[in-house]
Copies of this chain bind each other. A is one copy, B any other.
Amino acid sequence: MSGLPVAAPTLLERAGRAGRAGSLLAVLAAGLIWVALLAPIIALLLHLSPSSIVSSLTASGAFAPTVISLEASGTTVGVLILAGTPLAWLLAHDRLPLPRLWEAGLLASLLLPPLVIGLLLIFMVGPLTPIGAALSVIHLSASNTFFALVVAEVYESAPYYVLGALTAFRSVDGRLEEQAAILGDRPGRAFLRVTLPLAAGGLAMALATAWARSIGAFGAVIIIAYHPFGLPLQIWTTLQETGLASALPFALVLLVVALPLPLLVYGWSARAQGRDRG
């Protein structure tokens, strides 16, 4: 969003003679932290022999969990976008009374560990609860169904998405939204044409986080949706059943199938904001 009229300098261009050593040091330090952060992934790659990957992935039923994970997380992210975005927008624009209270609620919901969410979901939507009974009238059940899986994933990821989107919307310069209104845009149009592209960076981050939370959702999922099996449960049960060697390849699968979406979203955000960086 920076409007600075500075042609992006390359690293070494920018650093003056005196600054160069400092910058190299900074890059080194950053690199170290980054590699430390990626260490588990490196460990994963080092640990997988090609043969173990092939044998785990070609085992019967290894494909289905991937599909289910993608479907459920896709649905989850869809639900979050539809329900969470308006809430975040209203909060960011101070359209709701007592904004602090709303925020506190979101923060609290962020703090429930997934396992606890799962246990509480039993109380909320178990078959013998009022909601569960109501659901069964429309032939839905929130235990051990795709629906239950989505419910669990939504609850694991929603606070991350809503808080992220809220922050993203808040970082948009209000004058530009006012400008859109002056030029005749209804709030909805202004949202699509101005707020959304300008909040793209923060939204990408909110989406990536929500996606990661939902496709990796485990704590709540294992409690209310033991099946259909997504990848995290596949990893878990394989671990229980046949051990690490066959479980770890699925972690790689999870990485590989889950990564494109966040990468795309980040790419979109860079384009939407008109940042053209390396």
Contacts and interface: CB of A to CB of B under 8 A. Distances in A.
Interface of A: 1-4, 6, 8, 10-11, 14, 23, 26-27, 29-30, 33-34, 36-41, 43-44, 46-47, 83-84, 86-87, 90-91, 94-100, 102-117, 119-121, 123-124, 155, 158-160, 162-164, 166-168, 170-175, 178, 201-202, 204-205, 208-209, 212, 215-216, 218-219, 232, 235-236, 239, 244, 247-248, 251, 254-255, 258-259, 262-263, 266, 277-278
A167 B205 contact: yes
A119 B244 contact: yes
27 contacts: A1-B173, A6-B174, A10-B97, A26-B90, A27-B97, A30-B91, A33-B83, A40-B112, A40-B117, A41-B105, A41-B109, A43-B121, A47-B120, A107-B263, A110-B262, A111-B258, A112-B216, A113-B232, A113-B251, A116-B235, A116-B251, A119-B239, A160-B160, A163-B209, A167-B201, A170-B201, A219-B219
Contacts of A36: 83
A62 B164 CA distance: 34
Contacts of A39: 124
Given A110-B262, A113-B232, A167-B167, 17 more contacts: A2-B173, A26-B95, A30-B87, A30-B102, A33-B83, A33-B86, A40-B116, A40-B155, A41-B108, A100-B277, A104-B259, A104-B263, A111-B254, A111-B258, A119-B248, A119-B251, A120-B251
Nearest to A35: B105
A21 to B, nearest CB: 14
- Would you call the interface of chain A mostly helix, strand, loop, or mixed? helix
Given A27-B97, A96-B11, A97-B11, A174 B212 contact: no
Nearest to A125: B39
A278 B218 contact: no
Given A1-B171, A97-B278, A111-B262, A38 B105 contact: yes
Assembly stoichiometry (copies)? 2
Given A37-B106, A97-B11, A215 B247 contact: no
Contact of A212 (B23, B83, B110): B110
A95 B167 contact: no
A186 B160 CA distance: 34
Contacts of A10: 97
A217 to B, nearest CB: 8
Nearest to A219: B218
A263 to B, nearest CB: 6
Contact of A94 (B3, B33, B83, B277): B277
